């Protein structure tokens, strides 16, 4: 059987999905995290519990949601609770094992900015903001992050601390009284990263197929540390790729159809 070709985005999503297990209770961010979590649910982790910020628990969407308020999430959830209950009882109550977040800016210690690019009072770009991400970052058992690598995104110093990672590194979280693990995994379109056990600086542990060290360094704003036992990320399997592509195709058809009053119908030409 010939190996299927795949894009760097597909590799990122699938590598992220592999980190999840049946036993996880996962607080899901919209976008790449949502795709990864649902690929896991549709392949190796059918019993994973997916929770979205709008209060939907145990949701199993047929298509990827446009936002946390997408009706698809509520339609397929085991139950839906109020947002205050979601945060106070489920998240701050320690019932979430994995918080899955994206980032506009990220530093080497997993601190995330989704608020502003540039000066806060006169920003170059005003971003969507934190939403529930700051609470997710401190109250989930651990944090997984997905993002595409770029010099704009992976920076020496973020412009605003939206979601706290490992702060200045080392035991900074513990010194602030935060007892959760914080960011334990970063998956980009080029590599898999994990924090150093002592310094907490993200370190590359695996390169995706065809990626070289210099590819990672030239798209990262700090001097990258590579693990001594650097591995190659296993290429996506046919099942993983087919599952992701079918999910994206259903999503595209549903959201195109929504514009003409047909939530899940596919538009046809003419």
Active site residues: 53
Q: Is 102 left (phi over 0), alpha (psi -120 to 50) or beta?
A: beta
Which residue, among 109, 219, 84, 96, has the nearest Cα to 161 in the 3D structure? 109
Alpha-carbon gap, residue 254 to 264, rounded angstroms: 4
Q: Order of strands, edge to edge, in the sheet holding 191-195? A: 79-80, 56-57, 49-52, 25-28, 98-101, 142-147, 183-188, 191-195, 202-207, 225-232
Residues whose CB falls within 8 Å of the CB of residue 137, separated by 6 or more in sequence, listed in order: 99, 101, 112, 143, 163, 164, 165, 182, 183
- CB count within 10 Å of CB 240 equals 25
> 196 with 225: CB under 8 angstroms?
yes
- CB count within 10 Å of CB 19 equals 18
Alpha-carbon gap, residue 158 to 104, rounded angstroms: 9
Which residue, among 243, 247, 250, has the nearest Cα to 43 in the 3D structure? 243
């Amino acid at each position: 059987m010939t190996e299927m070709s795949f894009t760097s985005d597909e590799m990122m999503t699938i590598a992220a999905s592999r980190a999840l297990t049946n036993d996880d209770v996962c607080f899901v961010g919209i976008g790449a995290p949502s795709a990864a979590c649902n690929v896991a649910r549709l392949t190796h982790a059918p019993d994973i519990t997916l929770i979205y910020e709008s209060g939907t628990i145990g949701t199993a969407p047929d298509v990827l949601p446009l936002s946390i308020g997408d009706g698809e999430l509520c339609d397929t959830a085991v139950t839906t609770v109020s947002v205050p209950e979601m945060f106070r009882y489920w998240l701050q109550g320690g019932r979430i094992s994995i918080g899955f977040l994206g980032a506009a800016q990220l530093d080497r210690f997993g601190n995330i900015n989704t608020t502003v690019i540039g000066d806060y009072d006169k920003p170059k770009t005003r971003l969507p903001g934190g939403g529930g991400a700051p609470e997710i970052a401190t109250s989930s058992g651990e944090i997984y992050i997905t993002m595409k690598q770029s010099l704009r995104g992976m920076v020496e110093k973020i412009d605003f601390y939206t979601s706290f990672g490992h702060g200045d590194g080392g035991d900074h979280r513990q010194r602030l009284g935060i007892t959760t693990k914080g960011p334990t995994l970063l998956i980009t379109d080029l590599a898999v990263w994990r924090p150093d056990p002592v310094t907490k600086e993200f370190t590359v542990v695996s390169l995706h197929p065809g990626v070289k060290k210099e590819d990672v360094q030239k798209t990262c704003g700090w001097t990258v540390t590579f693990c001594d036992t650097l591995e190659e990320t296993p290429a996506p399997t046919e099942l993983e790729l087919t599952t992701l592509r079918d999910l994206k195709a259903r999503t595209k058809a549903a959201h195109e159809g929504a514009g003409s009053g047909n939530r899940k119908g596919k538009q046809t030409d003419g």
